[in-house]
Structure 1
Amino acid sequence: MRRENTTQVAAIANKFIQHARYKLTPREMKLILYMASLIRPEDSDFETYLVPVTEIESVLKADEDKKHGSFYERLDDLLDSVTSKKITFPTDFVLEGVRLRGHINWVAGAVPKSNEEGILCVEFGFSPQMKPFMLGLKERFTRFELMEVARMKSSFSIRLFQMCKAYYYENIRHGRNTMTVGVKELKARLGIQNKYPDFRNFRRKVLDVAKDEINEKTRLTVELEYLRKSRRITDIAFIINEKDVDVHIEEDAIKTKQIAAPKAKTKPVSKGEWVERIDALTEAQRRAFNRLSEYGVNLAVALDEVMPIIKGSELIGYEDFFVTYLLAFFEKKTNRKSPKEKVKAFVGWIRNKRFEEPGLYASLMEQVIARKKQLTSEERDNRKRAKTMTAKDFRQLLADEKQIGKHPLGEPTYSVKNKLTVSRRKTKAPEEPELFVAEEKPAGFDLNAFRQKHPKKYQQILKERLEALNDLKDASNFDELLQSSVEAYCEQWERS
């Protein structure tokens, strides 16, 4: 099956990252990650993937200093090696004092074939035993951007980066950012159990190289501490942090060409179709779309790539809040200067699912919930009505109720048709306009008092919010997010 790869992000289960034992070359690792990026979140089974040879050639070009033989000779070697490499992992089975290991292959096969256009491809299929680690991932998994991995030259750098990133995003919510691994166990994970008996060589050829590459080429920073028993180093502590600014991960900044994403064959969308799609937006969606447009994001990206990530009952009817905080966060983190470069980097974050990382997504949602709690009852009622109709219908409803005069809900300063040809560009996230007239705020809400007064209702809301936020339970601020959500819904119920 020929599948379009637009995101170039691979998702892998944390238990595999932290416990699997294998050794791959940098080329093999990048090819495996590229294949993993073809898997969609909704896939329930592995498929076979046709990868054009030209894309595989991009992987081979990553090792410019190790070119031996023609491209097709090196391709044949790569296919032979990637199909023969195995993964081992510890199991719970112990017989006569020996703990048995599991053994699986990465891929089920790699066969040269031509696609429908006659282009030479290689048909790949993952081994069925890899399903638990790549399919149906809902929690405790980590996403890896291929462009970030492509910058690294050492397979040890890639492997340790995977381990550090998986550990950091799973544990930072508990205040833990130090991963401690025994030297023997670490060598086993890297597939070099019997190499580098002299620790000084292990440190120089593996650890120092990996640390330098991770710190230079990824958005993580890693420092190492060596732990001793007596005079012998037995464990290594990886102190992991995230950089405050976004890393330049662009093709023109990488000397080695990254795997090119296939160009999707899409039917051109007419001007009338764009107008229809925009007219179908709700008021909050329309405001979110307008803010993206003002920032410089084009129509297709705003509608087809940004808006779809805004999901969940907490955000329906509040899409404009989410986009405002999303743009504000990006502005705080980016080090790009010009509006054009900022938009380019922002789109890169969207396509690499940077905003969908559980911790960040939960943080943005928490800001939305906090903002919702500041709304008056009239504001909440109007938003509740607005999410069931188009922006045009909602504005007409307000006009009929003669509310337009006291609520700033007029049309944007530019029409939809004008937006089709001109995008107003700004360098900062636009400030959030007030949707509704301010009124005197009611007395503060006491959640503890509510819980004592309405224990059954509290438990019902708590259960509903736990289910609604289930996908974010690995986020670092999940407890605060859950409490804010429960408090907001309890307050809304009491005041209704």
Structure 2
Amino acid sequence: MIQDRQLIVKSNHIIEASYRLSVAEQRVILSAISQVRRDKPVTDEVMYSVTASDLAQLCGTDPKTAYRDLQNAAERLQTRRVSLVLEPDGITIRSKRRRVTCWVQTVDYIDQEGRIEMRFGKDILPYLTGLQREFTRYALSDVAKMTSAYGIRLYELLAQWPEGHREVALDDLRRWLQLEDRYPSIKDLKRRVLDPAVEQINEHSPLKLTWSQRKTGRKVTHLVFDYSPKSTARPSKNADTKTKRSKLSDDDIAKQARPGETWEAARSRLTQLSLGLT
């Protein structure tokens, strides 16, 4: 059964990684990420199941379309790569390096059931489970109905910054989206990438988004995004006080942390809230 608040939790290294996935492939990857447990150790032997019926329900698409998309995604996902920038940590990594790895190591397609089973790659899994540092979280339903792959990626970049304002260097955005030399003029980029992505975010996500461009000299070098929630949900007054004051699990923190907030900062803030110290 699809849950309304299935959570996507990703390391910010993944949010700002360089990769390109189709909409169907992103839906499959995100559906699997929403199943990753963060309250217990997870190995790369765990299989995650995604069905065409679940995708149809989640995305509001025709079941036949979801079946076809799932089959196509299963055929391509194993070859998809993601490029990560690893920062020096002074112990295992002494200097900045770029790592190219796979999203998944195996994908099994069960034709009669309209279902795939997939196993995340060993190198990618720590960025989905071992989130000791900066991470971004949002509800799967925020992007489920988007039909623009760029819209999904842009939404994640905005969710990473909760302040409602983000300025992105154009060169960085091109690298993250693997645009390479495509759409070299800002006019083409606006028509092919930015306008469709912004339209999708405004139509399907909880955010209202506008954007502008900033020049350095005569050249457009940065994009400026301003956004705010369409509505703010208030916490229930009938919350269980005993549960609120109980020890926070990692899953509790993942669900209640603010986008872009470090794991340690989220734990400290939520602990203080549970004890009535703020």
1:118-146 per-residue CA deviation (whole Å, 9 max, x = no partner) reads 95642211111112211133553222222
Instruction: Write the letter of the residue equivalent to 1:87.
Output: V
Residues 58/85 of structure 1: CA separation in 2 closer, same or farther (3 Å cut): farther
User: Is the contact made by 2:59 and 2:145 (CA closer than 8 Å) also made in structure 1?
Assistant: no
Structure having the higher helix fraction is 1
| Alignment of 1:124 onto 2:111 | no
For the aligned residues, what is the CA RMSD?
Answer: 4.0
Match of 1:310 among 227, 231, 244: 244
Choose the corresponding residue for 2:220, options 229, 233, 237.
233
Letter in 2 for 1:216: E
- Could you tell me whether the CA contact under 8 Å between 1:359 and 1:474 is conserved in 2? no
Q: TM-score, normalised by structure 2?
A: 0.76
Runs of 5+ consecutive residues of structure 1 not aligned to the other structure: 94-98, 247-288, 293-301, 315-352, 361-468, 487-496
> 1:12 corresponds to which residue?
10
Structure having the higher Rg = 1
1:476-491 aligned at under 5 Å gives the runs: 485=277
Question: 1:202 maps to what in 2?
Answer: 189
What pairs with 1:328-407 in structure 2 (closer than 5 Å)?
356-359=255-258
Deviation at 1:355, TM superposition (A): 11
The change in CA–CA distance for 1:130 and 1:485 in structure 2 (over 3 A counts) is: same
Instruction: State whether residues 27 and 60 of structure 1, in contact with CA within 8 Å, keep that contact through their aligned partners in structure 2.
Output: no
Give the superposition deviation at 1:311.
3.9
Contact 2:214 2:221 in 1 (8 A): yes
Q: Which has the higher contact order (CA 8 A, sep 6+)?
A: 2
Structure 2 partner of 1:243? 230
Q: Deviations 1:355-381 (Å, cap 9, x if unpaired)? A: 943359xxxxxxxxxxxxxxxxxxxxx
How many Å separate the matches in 2 of 1:313 and 1:111?
Answer: 39
Contact 1:50 1:123 in 2 (8 A): yes
Q: Which residue of 2 aligns with 1:104?
A: 101
Deviations 1:281-320 (A, max 9, x none): xxxxxxxx9x74xxxxxxxxx8xxx778624469xxxxxx
- Deviation, 1:92, is 5.9
Q: Secondary structure at the match of 2:277?
A: helix
Pairwise mapping of residues 128-277 of structure 1 onto structure 2 (< 5 A)?
A: 128-168=122-162, 172=163, 177-245=164-232
Post-superposition Cα deviations, 1:409-430, rounded to whole Å, max 9, x if no partner, equal: xxxxxxxxxxxxxxxxxxxxxx
Q: TM-score, normalised by structure 1?
A: 0.45
1:28 to 7, 25, 50: 25
CA–CA distance in structure 1, aligned partners of residues 55 and 277 of structure 2: 47
C-alpha spacing 1:228/1:76, structure 2 compared with 1 (3 Å): same
- SS of structure 2 residue aligned to 1:128: coil
Seen in structure 2, the aligned counterparts of structure 1 residues 154 and 84 have a Cα distance that, compared at 3 Å, is same
**CA deviations over 1:188-213 (Å, ceiling 9, x no partner):** 11111221012101012211121222
Change in CA separation of 1:90 and 1:110 when aligned onto 2, cut-off 3 Å:
same
Cα distance, 1:308–1:142 mapped onto 2, change above 3 Å: farther
Aligned length: 259
| Structure number with higher strand proportion | 2
